[in-house]
Every structure is written in C-alpha cells, then in structure tokens.
Amino acid sequence: MSYTFSKRSRENLSTCHQDLQAVAMYAIKYVDFTVIEGHRGKEAQNRAFDEGYSKVKFPHGKHNKKPSDAFDFIPHPFKGWDDHEGFAKIGNMMLGVGAILKEYGLIESEFEYGGNWTTFKDYPHIQRV
C-alpha cells in the first residue's frame, strides 16, 4: 500500500528543510501520517511554550528557523495523543529512512525523534540535529 500527503501536509512540509522533506516523502509511501506543523512563528512558539508543549521560547525552537528544522506529525488512523506506539512507529521509521538516505548521499542531515528523548517526551516531533 502506498499513501500520499494531503494538501495541508504538503503545505506544512514545504516550510521545512529539504532533508526533512525528503525523509517524509519517502516515509509516506509506507506509513500514513499527517504533517501538522512545520515552521512555527513567534506567537505559535510562545503559545506552545506557555502550554507546556515546548521547552523553549521563540526564536530558540527548531520549528522557528526558515526553513524549519523540525515538523510535527500525527499517525493514521489517529487513536489519540496517548498512542505512543503509533507515534513511535512513524518517528522511528523516519530515523531509519533518514539514516539510509544519508548513507546513500541523498541528504546530509541526521535526525532525532522526540519520543526517544529521556526527559521531555515529544511524540509527534522529528527534527534535524
């Protein structure tokens, strides 16, 4: 089965670094997910901080760069924010895809999946390091 991105996902992904775009475009062929946010402006970043969804204020987040060094996603089918297994399946797959694309010289970046962090778990988040 092959999946494709919605218009919303494509628009959000277009705000991201080309290496993040490449990883997402490869991964979507095998797992279904939505890119819910790429670049995040000052108001959105500070709101995410105030609500406890981010540990940094603008302009210190990976989402705040242009192009963005991070994006957030949700798996399909979406079973809720506590579906850590669903998020991890996609987040860890993207890490593997990124490693393969880098090995073959197709991208230059390495990535982190927020669900693998030990202190602040950010299950819908992937970023360049």
Q: If pLDDT is split at 50, 70 and 90, which confidence band does 10 have?
A: very high
Q: Confirm whether 93 is domain-assigned.
A: yes
- The answer as to whether 55 is a domain residue is yes
Q: In the predicted model, is pLDDT for residue 1 greater than 90?
A: no
83 in any annotated domain: yes
Whole-angstrom distance, CA of residue 88 vs CA of residue 107 = 22
pLDDT digits (tens, 9 = 90+) for 71-86: 999 999 999 999 999 9
**Number of domains into which the chain is organized:** 1
2 within some domain = no
Task: For residue 93, give the CATH number of its domain.
Answer: 3.30.1380.10
Q: Classify residue 25: in a domain, yes or no.
A: yes
Alpha helices by DSSP H, 54-113: 84-103
Q: Is the dihedral of CA 40, 89, 76, 119 positive or negative?
A: negative
* Domain of residue 85, residue span: 7-128
Q: For residue 1, tell me if it sits in a domain.
A: no
